[in-house]
Amino acid sequence: VQLQASGGGLVQAGDSLRLSCAASERAFSLAGVGWFRQAPGKEREFVAAISPNGASTNTEDSVKGRFTISRDNTKNTAYLQMNSLKPEDTAVYYCAARLRVKTAQAMIAWEDMEYWGKGTLVTVSS
């Protein structure tokens, strides 16, 4: 599964961004999708995940209530809606996929994921 993340940019604190993760294969609908991020000097961390059919989602506590993960399997695309952005959200955001997974809770470690796209940079100024 080939993935392409997009939608990053430079915004001010309090602004919103929507990241997209587009896949080129129909197998995307069989894959769970996760968003991870990596800030300078820090390890890659889990942000959010969604099951193949979208029924199960999981969001990291620090972004809960601000970030929402969703997907549209008819468009082979997953999204990460980010509201009320904070400077500490500054990072490179990566989307990743894993086949044969049923729940979002099974995709909280980057080692759980099988396919990765190139990241998109999100910079939040104060």
pLDDT band at 25 (very low <50, low <70, confident <90, very high): confident
Task: Please name the residue that has the structure tokens 């009320």.
Answer: 84
Residue 24 pLDDT greater than 90, yes or no: no
pLDDT band at 111 (very low <50, low <70, confident <90, very high): very high
Residues 89-104: what's their mean pLDDT?
Answer: 96
Where would I find the beta strands (DSSP E) of the chain? 3-6, 9-12, 17-23, 31-38, 45-50, 57-59, 67-72, 77-82, 91-99, 115-116, 120-125
- Token pair, residue 110, equals 């980057």
Residue 66 pLDDT greater than 90, yes or no: yes
